[in-house]
Amino acid sequence: MEAQTPPTPAYQVEDSDNYDRKTCPAEIALKAISGRWKLLIVRELWSEVRRFGELQRALEGITQKMLTQQLREMEQDGIIHREVYLQIPPKVEYSLTPLGESLKPIIEAMHEWGTKL
């Protein structure tokens, strides 16, 4: 009987010439939450739904352009939900999706790990 070699984990690549980094789930996850503001935006949305202005005031130092960009990326990734109310003046609210909610234990574990560095 021939010994079988265990499968290669996604993050360990045997043939780097044929490796497509976009297919590594860990790297995709890191990209979705990387950047200076994304984790802070998630933190602000943990407890309640927020409007754009509330987020901007809570995230001291973020520009309107950067907040807009980060929110759009997070919406595209399915982390946040953007609810537009057709009224005057316009009202937009942001909240975490179930996928975004699933980040809580991951971020808490990252926080705990970070305290050990």
CATH of domain 23-115: 1.10.10.10
Angstrom distance (rounded) from CA 49 to CA 105: 19
> In which band, very low, low, confident or very high, does the pLDDT at 115 lie, cut at 50, 70 and 90?
very high
Angstrom distance (rounded) from CA 101 to CA 33: 13
> In which band, very low, low, confident or very high, does the pLDDT at 53 lie, cut at 50, 70 and 90?
very high
> In which band, very low, low, confident or very high, does the pLDDT at 29 lie, cut at 50, 70 and 90?
confident
> In which band, very low, low, confident or very high, does the pLDDT at 3 lie, cut at 50, 70 and 90?
low
Write down the pTM of the prediction. Answer: 0.76
Strand extents, DSSP E, 1-117: 50-51, 80-85, 91-96
pLDDT, residue 21, reads 57
The domain limits of the chain are 23-115
Strand extents, DSSP E, 62-113: 80-85, 91-96
